[in-house]
Amino acid sequence: MKKQVQTLNSEEKTIKEDEVQKTEKEKIGKMKAIAPVILFAAGLYFSFGTNDAEKYSVVQKWPSGNLKVVTTAGLYWAGPFSKITEFKRSSVVKFSHSEEGGETIDESIFVRFKDNGTARIRGVVKYLLPDNSEKIRMIKNELGNDEVISKKVLRNYINQVLIKTASKYTSSESIRNRADFFNDINESLISGEGPAGRYSIGILSFTLNKIIYDQQSQAKFDEQRLLEQQKNNAKIQAEKSQQDAITAKAEGEKLIAQTKAREENLKLEAAIRADKAAEIARIKANQEKMVAITAAKKEFDVEKLELEKAKLEKEVLLLRAEGKRGAALKEAEGRKALAEADNSLELRLRTQKEMMIGMAQALKDVKVPSAIIGTSGKSSGNPVLDLFLMNQIKSLTGTNSTEETGK
């Protein structure tokens, strides 16, 4: 019984081992079938590259070793087992003071001036690789990569330019004529000489950060700076004194001008007041003249009206007197005729007396002005009385004439 159990167990174990072996063989077969596909896909994947817009890609073909330069951005075909080197289109060369990991790194460039003064120059130069496939191939073949371009080739070129330019200046001139010193460095860098000219690498900009002079030169500069400062202070003080004098003169001229302007204003105001007073006096005189003329005219009109009134009254009195005289004359003529008819002297005398009495009675109630002012301004006597007397004279004369005629 025990042997039968062992036999069954060994058979099951054998069966399981056969199944495992069979499964492993199937897996190996599948792997063999998939492996070429995977290898093909991997080879295809690594046969393509991606170029950034800020970079150039140089592809070294396998197995020929030919170089292909990719300048456009995007996906490109590199080929299997090709080597790709990337170059930055634009980068910088720094020659400055920095600290990395607690360690101080001084990459400034040492220069010597023509007066034997020394200094270390710190700055940054920005450069641009050429957009030319042949030049990029040359850079790849001769320089290799970005680090060689920036830290060796261009740095050596910048070092030569700074040393050459500094040798043309004294330490003091590099300070006093800093703009000229900077321009000379910049023009030498962009002139296209040296490796920059060979590889057509363009220098875009040069930034001068700092010039650190040696202690002796710095002491000399400090002394010169102090003298310059004293000189400038004296100049500033002199200019200030001159400006104060100019300001004082200007203030004096301004005061004189203001005083003169004030006097002119006073004169003008006095003239205006005088003209105003004269105009007021003229207007007042004209007003008084008009009032006087109006009063005189009014008085003349009143006198004229009075004269007209007197003339009218005179005409009325004359008409009244003439009427009464006519009536008296008619009555006298009647009585005269009667007396003549009677031819009686007594009758004539009585008639004459009665006539005179009647005339007197007629005239006693008539108001006659004692004097009449004529248009010539002269006065005359009583016209009624004059008429009466003339009438009497004529009457007597007429009587005598009649008597004489009768005789």
Q: What is the DSSP string of 5-40?
A: HHHHHHHHHHHHHHHHHHHHHHHHHHHHHHHHHHHH
For the record, the structure tokens of 192 come out as: 């296209």
Top mean-pLDDT range of 70-84, 266-280, 310-324: 266-280
Quick one: pLDDT band at residue 344, thresholds 50, 70, 90? low
For the record, the structure tokens of 75 come out as: 């996906």
Quick one: pLDDT band at residue 181, thresholds 50, 70, 90? very high
For residue 391, the model assigns a pLDDT of 65
* Nearest alpha carbon to residue 209 among 119, 82, 319: 119
- Cα–Cα distance, 281 to 275 (Å, whole number): 10
- Cα–Cα distance, 107 to 94 (Å, whole number): 8
Quick one: pLDDT band at residue 182, thresholds 50, 70, 90? very high
In DSSP terms, which residues pair with 58 in a beta bridge? Answer: 69, 85
Q: Which range among 95-99, 210-214, 244-248 shows the weakest confidence by mean pLDDT?
A: 95-99
Q: Does residue 109 surpass a pLDDT of 80?
A: yes
For residue 158, the model assigns a pLDDT of 92
Quick one: pLDDT band at residue 399, thresholds 50, 70, 90? very low
In DSSP terms, which residues pair with 76 in a beta bridge? Answer: 49
> What's the longest Cα–Cα distance across the chain?
245
Q: Which residues contact 107 (CB under 8 A, 6 or more apart)?
A: 94, 95, 96, 97, 98
Give the percent of the chain with pLDDT over 90.
13
- Neighbour tally for 236: CB within 10 Å: 11
Average pLDDT rounded to a whole number, residues 135-156: 88
For residue 400, the model assigns a pLDDT of 46
* Nearest alpha carbon to residue 351 among 395, 310, 301: 395
- Neighbour tally for 161: CB within 10 Å: 24
For residue 161, the model assigns a pLDDT of 92
For residue 366, the model assigns a pLDDT of 54
DSSP 8-state code for residue 322: H
In DSSP terms, which residues pair with 57 in a beta bridge? Answer: 70, 86
- Cα–Cα distance, 151 to 107 (Å, whole number): 10
For residue 405, the model assigns a pLDDT of 43
For the record, the structure tokens of 370 come out as: 């004692």
Report CA dihedral (313, 318, 323, 324) to the nearest 10 degrees. Answer: 100
* Nearest alpha carbon to residue 85 among 107, 104, 105, 68: 68
* Nearest alpha carbon to residue 214 among 300, 108, 134: 108
Average pLDDT rounded to a whole number, residues 188-198: 79
Average pLDDT rounded to a whole number, residues 305-314: 80
Quick one: pLDDT band at residue 278, thresholds 50, 70, 90? confident
CB 92 within 8 A of CB 150: yes
Q: In this structure, what are the phi and psi dihedrals at residue 373, rounded to the nearest 5 degrees? A: -90, 120
For residue 407, the model assigns a pLDDT of 41
For residue 383, the model assigns a pLDDT of 58
For residue 120, the model assigns a pLDDT of 93
Q: Which residues contact 328 (CB under 8 A, 6 or more apart)?
A: 355, 358, 359, 362
